[in-house]
Structure formats: structure tokens, C-alpha cells
A and B are shown apart, each in its own frame.
Chain A
Amino acid sequence: MDDELAISVRGLRKAYGDNVAVAGVDLDVRRGEVFALLGPNGAGKTTTVEILEGYRRRDAGEVRVLGSDPELAFGSRLRGSQARSSRAPGHPARDWRSRIGIVLQGTGEFDELTVIEVVRHFSGFYPDADDPAKVVERVGLGAKAKARTHTLSGGQKRRLDVALGIVGRPELLFLDEPTTGFDPEARREFWELIRDLAAAGTTIVLTTHYLDEAESLADRVGVIAAGRVIEVAPPKLLGNRQDALATVSWRTPEGALESAESAAPTALVAELAARYGGEVPGLTVTRPTLEDVYLRMIGHP
């Protein structure tokens, strides 16, 4: 069963002093899946992801990422005797690191180096790296390959971050708010890239503020608020969206707006059509958007 899961988290807790950032998160991410972690600022998304990435230690809980405890990335302090006995010869931490790709929330700048130099340098850390020039092309920086990184725009720097995240050909890719600062066209292109990576079998975990991003990319969405995962579901099923009442609205002959919630909107529309003898003025039928469901879930009616 464990082989099916890229990530398995049980009872994860992390506090900074009195401030509890993660208050008992349970999470499973299957291999090959695109999983979006959605939540407001301060919900614990980044803390959770950075624990999974081996950047932070946790206070409590069980965490497995690609079969290993990410805390092995901290070096010798392996948790528990089981971890120690399974310690393979060589460098378990480095082997584990070479199987994951990380795109952090902030960009790290290498002022005086060119895009291709940075990507080539990072490719050298991985045992099975992709061709740097190809990766640069792939993230849409082909024309900027020889530009110094400090001359890049915000969105271009983000693409460089993505290039560094994927150059090692990771099995599991973490993306922390990857499209912040992208214009709409760049976001579409980025989504294509993610779908492309997913199609090739890469497991992808992304955090995002953008509901449309979660909806169009993710196989499943985990909504996190106040340090807890409230619900995990495919975007279409989140918050029982598919069963939610539809809202039918129209205008009366006097021009006033009328609306009614209905489990059988088609029947209502037929009835309206009969009542108006044909075209119903200003007719709309809507179901709750992901945003409506999400806002209700995190406590904003």
C-alpha cells in the first residue's frame, strides 16, 4: 500500500512558540497525482510543505515522503531504530533529495550568473539530470538563456525557479505558489507544463491561492485552514458541490430580479418558460463555484 503513496502524513503538528501553525494534519498523496493544497494565508500550507521537503522539523506526527522520513535530510539524526536499520549504504539523504524537486515560495537570486549557467550548475547536483538547455526552453526562457538573472522580470524569475525544480527530473515535485506574479498567458503556459510533467508520471504537490489553478490542474484538492485539513476531494466534488442546489434567477416583467434555489432547476426553467410563453428575461442557472464552496469551508460565508 505504501508503494502507492508518494506522501503519507498522520497527525502532523508544528508550533512556533505559542503559535500553532499545523494542528494535526493527515494527508495522502498518491503516486502520479497532482495534488493542490488550497488555503488562506497563515493556514499552514507552507509550513506543511516545508516539513515534507525536509526544510523544517516537526513537533509530532508520522511523515513519509517517497518512503522516507524527510527529517533524514537533516543529517545523522534519523528517527527511530527502524530508520537506522534500513539505512542503506551510501547517502540516503542525498538519494532522497535527488528524487524530489522543490520550487520554493520565494525566489533565490544569483545576480551575476546567466539563466543557463544557473540551470547547468544545478543540473550537476543530480545523478540523472535533464539537459539544461532543454529545460530552459521548456519553461519558456529560451530567449533569455544568456541573460543575467537579475535582469529577469518577476514572472521570468519564477520560471527559472521552476527550471531548477525540474532539472533533476524529480519523481515528486513541490511547487509553493508557483504562478504568483505571472500574467494570465504565462499562467496558461505554466499549467501546460505541469500537465505535461504529470502526464509523464511526476507526482506534483502544489500550494496555491488561485482556485482556478487548483480546479484546472489538480486531481484532488486539500483545503487547509487554521492548521488542519478540512476536506480532501476532487475539485468537482469539493464541499458536495455536485449535489448543491442550483440557483435559478430571472427578471420579472417589471424588471425586478427574482431567484430561487432548486434541486430540479430544469423543471423550474421549463415552468418559467411556460409562464413567460417563451424566452425568460435575464435567465441564469448557476451552481456554487469552487470559490463559493471554498470560502464557505474556510469560514467566510
Chain B
Amino acid sequence: MTTTTDQAPPATAAAPARRPGAGTLALRQGRLEITQFLRSRESVVFTMGFPIIMILIFAAIFNDEIAPGVSFTQYFITGMIATGLMTVSFQNLGIWIPIERDRGVLKRYRGTPMPKWVWFAGKVIVVVAIGVAETALLLAVSVALFDLKLPGTAGKWFTFGWVSVLGVTACTLCGIAISSLARTARSGSAVVTPVALVLQFISGVFFVFTNLPSWMQQVAALFPLKWMCQGLRAVFLPESFGAREPGGSFELGRVALVLALWCVIGLVLCLTTFRWTTKRDG
């Protein structure tokens, strides 16, 4: 350690000097999170590559149509877009936050003058950035290889937008909330992975939703993933397919309602249960 004597005196109590703007802080935090994500190569490959690998596998196994003009692959792609959004938000946060908490990273942030919400904003920014990139890649591959039609009207793009935003928001908040269940760094993935996997099976990602037992459909209807899938089918599948949905239509109003409700539930859980330190840390 170099000893310097030109150390300026500490700031005096009375003069709170310029404070970085809130927006600047949030953007800096988001940039830091994105840098961290991009540098951990495994996460990038897994998060970006997994949905595409799944689609290639499913397309190779199933090549029949489930309705006139709708191949199973197209049905499955909409489910994979929803799953992808859930992975980057719910799973990533549910696994990473316990690790950061366990390592004391969160505790350290708490000891700085950083406003608490800035840290959450950083997480939201990284989730949205990865979500957009991953979805774009998925769409590009699907359009190129599996005849997926991109939405043709502004209305459908709008639906695509709000379903994704509401879905990602709900999953992000739930991911932050569920992170408090994990007691140690290692248990994060043990808590989150089964939840995510079960939801994928019962929400119509791997199977056609209406082919599932009705009790399973009822259970799935309590959680956001089913509604994200349904909302995205309204965007990417022909209008006529709506008649095959459980409610006889894509039920976009109900999609919005359930996802918004989960946003509220997630937010309340975050505000009441979030911990900056581990249990043993007090």
C-alpha cells in the first residue's frame, strides 16, 4: 500500500455535495449487471442457447400438425418464448440473488448510500436486455427454420409487447421474492428449478395445453406461465386457433388480469420478505 500524504480531508458534515442522479445510478447499475452476465460465458450460452436447442429437438421429434395450418413446432415455439422470458427473469434471479446474498455482495451495497431501488433497477435492466436478445434470437431461428410468421399487424405487436412486459415483470418480481426462500447460495437453484420445470410441464410448453388433464389445467391457470403462453399464441398462431383454447378464445383480457395480479403479488412479496443479508447474518 502506497502511503500518500496528499489525502484531501474527509467531506464535512454540512456540505452534501453533488449527488449522482437517480437515472444515472440505475443505468450504471444495469450496465454493471449486463457486464457481469456477458462475462460469465456459461450463463450466456445456457440462457441464449437452451431455448433454441429445445426447439431443434422438438422439431426433429414432432412434425405433425395440431390444427389446420398450425404445426406442433409453431405451438411449441410460442411456449418456448414464454419459457425463455421466465428463465431470464424468474430462474436467473431466483438462482443468482441467493449467491450474491451469500457472498455478501448485497450486504455491501446496503452499506453504501446507493438508494435500494437502484439495485432492483439494475436487475430489471439486465433481465429486460437478456430477454429481448434471447427472444429476438429465438424468433430469428424460428422464422428461418420453422415458418413461424411474425405478427402481421400493429395490434398483434402490441399484444406481443404487453404480454411480454407483464409476464417479465411478474416473473422478475416473483424471482426476487423466491430468492429469499433459499438459505444458502447453493439452495437457490434447488428451490427455483423444480418450480420452473413443473410450470413448464403443466402450462402447455412441452405439451398441447388442452391435452392435459383438466385438473392440471386448473392448477396451471393459477400461475403466470400458462397465461404468458396463451397470450403469445394469440400473437403467433392464426386467429382461428383461439377456438381451441380452453376458454374458446385467447381470452386476452384474462391474460392481462392474471399477469397483472401476479405483478402485485410479486411486488408485495418482494417488499415484505426481501432480505439483504443471510439468515445467519441477522
Contacts and interface: CB of A to CB of B under 8 A. Distances in A.
**B and A form one assembly:** yes
Interface of A: 16, 47, 50, 53-56, 66-67, 90-91, 94-95, 97-99, 102, 104, 106-113, 117, 121-122, 124-128, 130, 134, 137-140, 142, 159, 164, 168-171, 186, 189-190, 192-193, 196-197, 199-202
Contact of A193 (B1, B25, B107): B1
28 contacts: A16-B282, A55-B282, A91-B113, A94-B19, A97-B111, A98-B112, A98-B113, A102-B108, A104-B104, A107-B104, A108-B104, A109-B103, A109-B105, A112-B35, A112-B39, A113-B35, A113-B39, A124-B20, A124-B28, A126-B112, A127-B11, A128-B17, A140-B2, A168-B112, A170-B10, A186-B1, A200-B10, A202-B10
A139 B1 contact: yes
Given A50-B282, A168-B112, A193 B28 contact: no
B36 interface: yes
Given A125-B114, A171-B10, A196 B105 contact: no
Contacts of A117: 32, 35
Given A56-B282, A104-B111, A121 B10 contact: no
A142 B4 CA distance: 14
Contacts of A159: 1
Contacts of B17: 127-128
A25 B32 CA distance: 41
Contacts of B18: 127
A125 B16 contact: no
B246 interface: no
Nearest to A102: B111
Contacts of A168: 112-113
Contacts of B108: 102, 104, 108, 164
Given A56-B282, A124-B20, A196 B112 contact: no
B107 A55 contact: yes
A112 B96 CA distance: 13
Contacts of A190: 1
Contact of B13 (A99, A111, A138): A99
B112 A66 contact: no
Contacts of B16: 90, 95, 98, 127
Contacts of A102: 108, 111
B67 to A, nearest CB: 46
B25 A169 contact: no
Given A171-B11, A200-B9, A108 B105 contact: yes
Contacts of A94: 19, 113, 115
B153 interface: no
Contact of A196 (B7, B9, B11, B110): B7
Contacts of A138: 1-2, 4
Interface of A is mostly: loop
A161 B113 CA distance: 16
B272 interface: no
Nearest to A161: B108
Contacts of A16: 282
A112 B1 contact: no
Nearest to B40: A112
B110 A55 contact: yes
B63 interface: no
Nearest to A66: B13
Contacts of A170: 10
B3 interface: yes
B13 A171 contact: yes
A125 B21 CA distance: 10
B113 A126 contact: yes
B275 to A, nearest CB: 12
A258 B107 CA distance: 56
7 A-B pairs with the lowest CB-CB distances in the bound complex, closest first: A112-B39, A108-B104, A140-B1, A98-B113, A108-B108, A97-B113, A189-B1
A197 B2 CA distance: 12
B31 to A, nearest CB: 9
A142 B7 contact: no
B47 to A, nearest CB: 15
Contact of B3 (A113, A186, A192, A201): A192
A159 B2 CA distance: 12
Contacts of A47: 282
B211 interface: no
B142 interface: no
A295 B102 CA distance: 34
Contacts of A67: 13
A201 B282 CA distance: 32
B179 interface: no
B36 A113 contact: yes
A197 B105 CA distance: 25
Contacts of B40: 111-112
Interface string B22-48: 001100100010011001100000000
Instruction: Indicate the member of A16, A50, A108, A140 with the most B CB atoms within 10 Å.
Output: A108
A139 B4 CA distance: 11
